[in-house]
Amino acid sequence: MRKNLLAIATVLAVAITALEVAAQAPAGGPGAAKGTAKAGAPKGGGGGGGGGAYPQRNPDPTMAARGKALYDVNCALCHGSDARGGDGGPNLLRSQVLLNDKDGELIAPVLQNGMLAEGMPKFNFSMAQSADIAAFIHSFRVAGYDNSRNRPPTIVVGDAKAGATYFSAKCGSCHSATGDMKGIATRIADARTLQQRWLMPTGGRGGGAGTPTTVTVTPASGAKVEGRLVRIDDFLVTLAEDDGTSRTFRRDGDTPKVEIHDPIQPHKVLLPTYTDKDIHDVTAYLVTLK
């Protein structure tokens, strides 16, 4: 009996050792390591290959170029020029949606539906445009670490005089340099934060400080229900009443009637129309309002 137990233990030890060796072997068999491993590269994919956790793409350069033009105007503000996160939005390169996406099929619904409760508006992008944006994001190399971002020393590179003219034409109906914007550069001394704030006053994801987006729901009974918008899609709308009570209504077309009151809707309308020059010029002007 004792001999049988020793034999079984020996077999188990050999089997466990074999499994450990197999687990440590490179994917594709013993020969896969030849010509691929980099001397001195840290374990866990830190050498830049990315491994299975960070799939590398080879997008079409033409699509990536078109996507960059769309991304720079509509997305870079919150997610950064290199998609590694901005002052308000998350790192897209590590997003599970982006890691699983191949040709924009997973990104498109997010872009087209938006995430209104989190401050992300809807975008009227076609599937082709969504695929172009995906190609641009996939053009970045992803690994176990992010490359240095080499941020410029200052973003105040525009023409303040041109910015004043633009501000008066596009923003003057709601804001005034001698009223609500007076001293803005003193209250928000960091130019990057100031630029983020005037472009999207909510401060990016999560809504930030300020007046929240509210919604009025009018069911068939006619009794209106109002509160802070929590979530809305084609099927449901959820709001939080003043006392914190959460209420959800099922949507069927235009029933119930849903009215969204977004205090920064004018900013969202203008956001896709800004050029890089407009942004730089307005920021250069606003930093003078001390």
Query: What is the CB neighbour count within 10 angstroms for residue 127?
Result: 13
For the segment 150-177, what is each residue's pLDDT rounded down to a tens digit?
456 788 999 999 999 999 999 999 999 9
The ranges assigned to domains in the chain are 2-30, 61-138, 160-207+267-286, 214-261
Looking at residue 221, its pLDDT comes to: 86
CA atoms of 263 and 175, how far apart (whole Å): 13
In the beta sheet, which residues pair with residue 227?
215
| Alpha helices (H) along 75-220 | 76-79, 96-100, 107-113, 127-138, 160-170, 184-187, 191-199
Architecture of the domain whose range is 214-261:
Roll (2.30)
Determine if the pTM surpasses 0.75: no
Eight-class DSSP state of 229: E
- Angle (CA) 130-136-141 rounded to 5° is 135
Q: Does domain 61-138 fall into CATH 3.40.720.10?
A: no
Least confident of 38-42, 52-56, 90-94, 138-142: 38-42
Can you give the C-alpha Rg of the chain in angstroms? Answer: 26
79 CB-near residues (< 8 Å, 6+ apart):
85, 86, 89, 90, 91, 92
Cα(134)–Cα(101) distance, rounded to whole angstroms? 8
How many whole angstroms separate alpha carbon 51 and alpha carbon 43? 11
pLDDT at 87: 65
Question: Does residue 6 register a pLDDT over 80?
Answer: no
Q: How confident is the model at residue 83 (pLDDT cuts 50, 70, 90)?
A: confident
- Contact between 268 and 274 under an 8 Å Cβ cutoff? The reply is no
pLDDT in tens, 180-209: 999 999 999 999 889 988 987 864 333 344
Task: Report the pLDDT value the prediction gives residue 35, as an integer from 0 to 100.
Answer: 37
- Alpha-helix runs per DSSP H in the chain: 2-24, 61-74, 76-79, 96-100, 107-113, 127-138, 160-170, 184-187, 191-199, 265-270, 276-286
pLDDT tens track for 217-250: 999 888 999 999 999 999 999 999 999 999 999 9
Residues 6 or more apart whose CB falls under 8 angstroms from that of 217 comprise 224, 225, 226, 237, 239, 247, 249, 256, 257, 258, 259
| Whole-number Å distance between alpha carbons of 185 and 171 | 17
Question: How many CA atoms within 13 Å lie on the side-chain side of 8?
Answer: 5
The β-bridge partners of 215 are 227, 260
CA distances from 90 to 75, 86, 97, 206, 260 (A): 11, 7, 12, 11, 25
Structural tokens at position 115: 């995430």
For residues 248 and 155, give the distance between their C-alpha atoms in angstroms, rounded to a whole number: 43
- pLDDT above 60 for 51: no
Looking at residue 212, what is its pLDDT?
85
User: Is-cis flag, bond preceding 61, omega within 30?
Assistant: no
